[in-house]
């Protein structure tokens, strides 16, 4: 099954895409980069799991094709995840998310521990302790010269309009992949749907208060934490801190990846996640 549709969740029209058999264990996958991201990355990353799992992806409010109705708080985005779960009649889910989607996956698991059978986190963090490393890596990159204007805006919410937001995104995109491909960077920039107000709220309002490090021991479900060795935005140390804080969490470092091991080492990523889910007792459909 590959079903795309709009659904009204907590008063906002959200675009959903559901893949895989209806009677299989279900994972809800949250994209990163609010205001830039969309379900397209989770579909590419987790679509292959639709042979054994029901994979639910969506554009979060304020991103992709979904409505730009606020608020863009973590509380609202967590409520939207649970609204999707309720809409689909799911008792429990595998919660998965990367980058900013990992922040929200952690938030959802803490808010609804009885609903999460397993947690998959990719290239994310539990606080902002390591944000300074992103600025340093951008400033010292030997790949491209990053516009100082863009460096000053990393991790901030200071964009006046979508044109300015796109200028920023094009400037920092070369940092994300382990293997730099200018043509791929251009394709990504052209394919992006820009929502500057969503990003401004996420990084200007939400992130200064974001710190879940003290609550990580509350997460008792099986947890897999994966990260690219060369991730410029959320370094290995941030993932290590999550794995150290969550009881019995597993950490896997992908040696030939940047911020997106799910796309840069897809076969290893898929086998790693499948193995984890089976060990966690969330085996796929026969």
The verdict on 220 and 250 lying in the same domain is: yes
CB 2 within 8 A of CB 17: yes
**Considering the entire predicted model, what is its pTM?**
0.96
The verdict on 111 and 223 lying in the same domain is: yes
Report the CATH number that the domain containing residue 211 is assigned in CATH.
Answer: 3.40.50.1820
Domain that holds residue 11: 2-130+202-279
- Structure token pair of residue 31: 């994209």
Residue 264, pLDDT > 90, answer yes
Rounded distance, CA 54 to CA 90, Å? 11
The verdict on 223 and 99 lying in the same domain is: yes
How large is the average pLDDT for residues 200-223? 98
Measured CA distances, 226 to 41, 79, 100, 101, 249 (Å): 16, 25, 14, 13, 11
Residue 229, pLDDT > 90, answer yes
What average pLDDT does the structure give for the chain?
96
The verdict on 245 and 255 lying in the same domain is: yes
How large is the average pLDDT for residues 44-64? 98
Domain-located, residue 261: yes
The verdict on 179 and 248 lying in the same domain is: no
The verdict on 188 and 168 lying in the same domain is: yes
How large is the average pLDDT for residues 264-270? 98
The domain boundary residue, chosen from 152, 181, 196:
196
Task: Specify the number of domains making up the chain.
Answer: 2
The verdict on 118 and 137 lying in the same domain is: no
How many Cα atoms within 13 Å fall on the side-chain side of residue 193?
18
Residue 154, pLDDT > 60, answer yes
- Residue 111, SS3? helix
How large is the average pLDDT for residues 190-211? 97
The verdict on 137 and 119 lying in the same domain is: no
Select the more confidently predicted residue: 265 or 141: 265
Categorize the per-residue pLDDT at 286 as very low, low, confident or very high, splitting at 50, 70 and 90: low
Give φ, ψ of 172 to 5 degrees: -95, -10
Rounded distance, CA 98 to CA 178, Å? 17
Residue 6, pLDDT > 80, answer yes
The verdict on 148 and 221 lying in the same domain is: no
Burial of 190 (0-12, 13-18, 19+ CB in 10 A): exposed
The verdict on 208 and 183 lying in the same domain is: no
> Per DSSP, which regions of the chain are E strands?
2-9, 12-19, 26-30, 54-58, 93-98, 116-122, 223-228, 250-254
Domain-located, residue 285: no
- Give the tens place of pLDDT for each residue, 89-137: 999 999 999 999 999 999 999 999 999 999 999 999 999 999 999 999 9
What pLDDT was estimated at residue 227?
Answer: 98
The domain boundary residue, chosen from 143, 173, 196:
196
Domain-located, residue 284: no
The domain boundary residue, chosen from 173, 196, 219:
196
Burial of 105 (0-12, 13-18, 19+ CB in 10 A): buried
């Amino acid at each position: 099954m590959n079903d795309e549709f709009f659904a009204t969740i907590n008063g906002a029209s959200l675009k959903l895409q559901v893949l895989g058999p209806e009677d299989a264990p279900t994972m809800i996958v949250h994209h990163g980069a609010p205001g830039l991201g969309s379900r397209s990355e989770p579909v590419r990353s987790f679509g292959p799991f639709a042979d054994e799992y029901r994979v639910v992806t969506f554009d979060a409010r304020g991103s992709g094709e979904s409505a730009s109705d606020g608020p863009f708080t973590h509380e609202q985005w967590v409520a939207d995840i649970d609204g999707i779960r309720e809409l689909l009649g799911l008792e429990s889910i595998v919660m998965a998310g990367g980058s900013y989607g990992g922040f929200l996956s952690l938030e959802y698991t803490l808010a609804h521990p009885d609903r999460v059978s397993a947690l998959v986190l990719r290239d994310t963090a539990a606080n902002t302790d390591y944000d300074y490393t992103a600025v340093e890596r951008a400033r010292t990159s030997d790949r491209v010269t990053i516009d100082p204007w863009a460096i000053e805006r990393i991790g901030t919410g200071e964009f006046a309009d979508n044109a300015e937001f796109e200028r920023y995104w094009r400037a920092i995109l070369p940092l994300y992949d382990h293997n730099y491909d200018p043509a791929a960077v251009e394709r990504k920039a052209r394919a992006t749907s820009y929502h500057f107000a969503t990003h401004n709220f996420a990084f200007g309002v939400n992130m200064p208060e974001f710190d879940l490090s003290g609550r990580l021991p509350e997460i008792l479900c099986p947890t897999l934490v994966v990260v690219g060795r060369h991730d410029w935005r959320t370094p290995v140390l941030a993932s290590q801190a999550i794995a150290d804080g969550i009881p019995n969490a597993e950490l896997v470092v992908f040696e030939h990846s940047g911020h997106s091991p799910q796309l840069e080492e897809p076969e290893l990523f898929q086998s790693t996640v499948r193995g984890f889910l089976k060990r966690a007792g969330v085996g796929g459909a026969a």
